[in-house]
Amino acid sequence: MATSGTLWILLAGCLGGLIGAALGSTKSCRTGACPLTANPLRGGAVGMILGLTFALAAGVGSGPGAGGGKSAGDPSSAGASLTSLTPETFEKTVAEGVTLVDFWSPKCSFCLEQMPVLAELAPEVAGKFVIAKVNVLDHHDLARKYGIRRLPTLMFFRDGKPVETRIGTSSKMELLTAFAELSL
């Protein structure tokens, strides 16, 4: 039996196909090169592809119950294994060894994209390195102190001093490589 998410995706594809076919039946394209309005068949096919694309991009069909659960980018689920830092805990956390601090915001889509990567990496490096996060909306003073202007910013600290900064998302392999280089 199909899940409700699968049904939503099929519905979006059918709806897009119907709209595309309706536009194709207008035959308003004089050259025949317009994918939606050249003929009903092409309009339906392109409309269905667009409908499916929009459904998948909107996250329909992903997660438990198709939108009923937490998505992979939900900071409350993916970032749960990461240490949340405050101005009071920041200095002590980065004081010894190598620490990766993710300066992020729940309103930043790239930050939410980065969070599951960090959450997956945290248990693998536990005991050797620390991965922590700072919500810049809650702790803008820390963001200002370290010159954070774009998100996400991943800042590596060695013994309390910033040694490397990455702006934007990074893959798990890139971060493992950075940890290996910094531990030398």
* Percentage helix, strand, coil for the chain under 3-state DSSP, each rounded to 5: 50, 15, 35
Determine how β-strand 98-104 pairs with β-strand 130-135: parallel
Q: Is 108 a catalytic residue?
A: yes
Q: At what angle do helices 172-182 and 109-125 cross, to 10 degrees?
A: 50
Q: How many CB atoms lie within 10 A of CB 3?
A: 12
- Kindly name the residue from 14, 29, 34, 108 that is annotated as catalytic: 108
Distance CA 60, CA 158 (A): 42
Give buried/exposed letters for 70-105 (b at 16+ CB in 10 A, else e): eeebbbebbbeebeebeeeebeebbeeebbbbbbbb
Closest to 57 (Cα-Cα) out of 107, 95, 106, 16: 16
> Catalytic amino acids?
108, 111
